Amino acid sequence: MTRTLTIVPRWAGHSGSDFYPWLLRERPPGFDAVRALDMPEPKQPAIREWVSALTTTLGTAPAPGTVLLGHSVGCQAVVRYLAELPPGSTVDGVLLVAAWWSVDKPWDSLRPWVETPVDLARVRAASRRFVVLLSDNDPFTSDFRENGRLWKERLGAEVVLVPGARHFNGEQEPAVLDALRLHFAGTLNP
C-alpha cells in the first residue's frame, strides 16, 4: 500500500511557508509521498472553498494509506472535510498541529470557522487515529489545557504538548516530524 501525507496549511500559509518545505525534504519514514497544498484565498480562507479544495484533491473516497496533516485553520479544514465524507470512507490518520476549537481573540473572517458546527460523529468515523500537537505558549489559544481536553473529548485524540512551540511556524518543527514517526510511520490498517 502506498502511504501519502497531505499537508493543509495555516491561515495565510502556502506550500512554501513554515515547516512544510523542510518536512517535504525530510520525507517522514513510512511515507511514499508527501505534499503540501496551496489552498484558495489563503489570507481569507472560507470553509466551503477549503473543504471543496480538499474534496477535489483527495476525493470522497481517499486512497488507502492517506494521512492528513492540518496546521491551525488547516486543522479545521481537515475536520470539516472528514465530516463530509460518505459513510465508509476513511483516512488512515490525522495529525493536527496548533489545532483549536476557539481562539482567544477571533477576528471577523475567522468567526465562521469557530461558530459553524461540525458533525463530530462523522469526523470520528472518518479517521482511524487523531493526534493533536499543542504548545503551552500558543499566542492564539492560551488555554492549552482546555483546548487539549476538547480534542480528547470530541474526537478521542491523543494530545501531545510541545513546550515553547508557539504556533509551530518555524522553518523546522522537529516535534511534527517526531509525531509522524511515532504515530504514523507504520501501517494503520488493521
What is the domain partition of the chain in residue ranges? 4-184
pLDDT, tens digit (0-9, with 9 covering 90-100), for 20-72: 999 999 999 999 999 999 999 999 999 999 999 999 999 999 999 999 999 99
Note the pLDDT tens digit of each residue in 75-120: 999 999 999 999 999 999 999 999 999 999 999 999 999 999 999 9
Rounded Cα–Cα distance for residues 90 and 125 (Å): 7
Q: Are 68 and 96 in contact (CB under 8 A)?
A: no
User: What number does CATH give the domain 4-184?
Assistant: 3.40.50.1820
Q: Cell digits for 119?
A: 458533525
Say which residue the cell 483516512 belongs to.
Answer: 91
Q: Which residue has the cell 512544510?
A: 20
**pTM, whole model, 2 decimals?**
0.96
CB 166 within 8 A of CB 137: yes
